[in-house]
Amino acid sequence: MLRLSNTLGKRIETFHPVNKNVVTIFTCGPSVYQRAHIGNFRTFLFEDILTRYLIFSGYTVKTGMNFTDIEDKAIKEAEKRKTTVKRLTEKNIKEFIQEMKLLRMEIPDYLPKSSESIDEAVEIIKHLLKCNIAYWYKGNIYFDPLKFPGFGKLYGLNMSKWPSRKRRFHKDTYPGMQWNLGDFILWHGYKEGDKYYWNTEIGKGRPSWNIQDPSMISKHFNEPLSIYCGGIDNLFRHHDYTLAILESVRPYPMARFWLHCHHLYVNGHKMSKSKGNILYTDMLQSLGYDITEIRFFLIYGHYRDRINYSYENMRIAVDKLRTFKKLVKTIEEKSQEIIPPHPFLLKGGWGDYQLKRAFSENMDNDLDVKGTFDGLYKTVSGAKIENLQPGEASGIIRTLKEIDEVFKVIF
């Protein structure tokens, strides 16, 4: 059975969906004020593998991923480029979806935008104001974490260190991976000269980043999510904010499982504009890597472990994939020597048993993609291909094609 590392509780748990008829997954999607880099796609590819493996395991899955298209950073970037937020973000969303398809990713069932979920944000804020969990201050609306029992439970925040003096944080996001110990903003009230605002029941203004995920989730999912996913950086502030908001207005948990993917570094350093080390998929393609090789490098490691891009690490991973694909090609040629027997006669054969066992045992262990691929590699490379009967070879290829519906790197 599939076991996953649940951030909520900090332990490995056997996976059981909230609803046995459909697994619901929501992905904390990109802030589209800029183009997504390979570090962003590392996280989104882990979530793609998760979805594909659940489908492989027989589940029906419904997925959502949000686009944060109205926030402080988007406004600042649009002003810098002398364009509008809408033009800026629409361009980046279009390119993001194109890159998802390029990387052979499943497109989520729902792709809500924060700018199209204003009514939902306002309804949540109205509820929080009524319950005195949120309050007005100088034209803005803030959430008081001390009014939510168990605040910080996802991260494991030590609330005994919460300052006694009232503090408010009014920006959408803050740099670094640290906590803002104070009240966080939900609504940016209109100020003279603001270009981006909506006329709503609570007045003119715009929703903060903190309220946007809850508004987009509530738009499409009205029960606890089976799984909520995101990058490890969202464990600082963002996901605990989202959890506290939604669980304040709903009489049930936000999600049963919370999964967080670690960072991708470049030559031992975090990617940043200041370091000039941000990498994009087309940059790797220009170095001679095809899209399956780029996808493979980004998934070839445990999602909870940091991976490091370097020329050498990329070369090692790609060489391994290329060698494996050559072995598979040889088996495929062997399978075509004669017409293979009926698939029923292959059931329980070498291809069905050893390969599926190597696949499922490792994938069930918290989606251990690296361990899974290495197991497949060992099994295939250890086979005496020259002694395979065409029917056996055909069974192996058929099984590998089933497995590759999850990995999408072999064929």
Phi, psi of 173 (to 5 degrees): -135, 160
Contact 183, 168 (CB under 8 A): yes
Residue 345 pLDDT? 40
Parallel, antiparallel, or unpaired: how do β-strands 307-309 and 140-143 relate?
unpaired
* Residues in the chain, pLDDT under 70: 338-352
Residue 349 pLDDT? 53
Domains of the chain: residue spans and CATH: 3-261 (3.40.50.620), 294-304+311-407 (no CATH)
Residue 347 pLDDT? 43
User: Within a 10 A sphere around the Cβ of 20, how many other Cβ atoms?
Assistant: 9
Residue 168 pLDDT? 98
* Single pTM value for the model: 0.94
Parallel, antiparallel, or unpaired: how do β-strands 183-189 and 203-207 relate?
antiparallel
Contact 294, 283 (CB under 8 A): no
Residue pLDDT, tens place only, 297-318: 999 999 999 999 999 999 999 9
Residue 341 pLDDT? 52
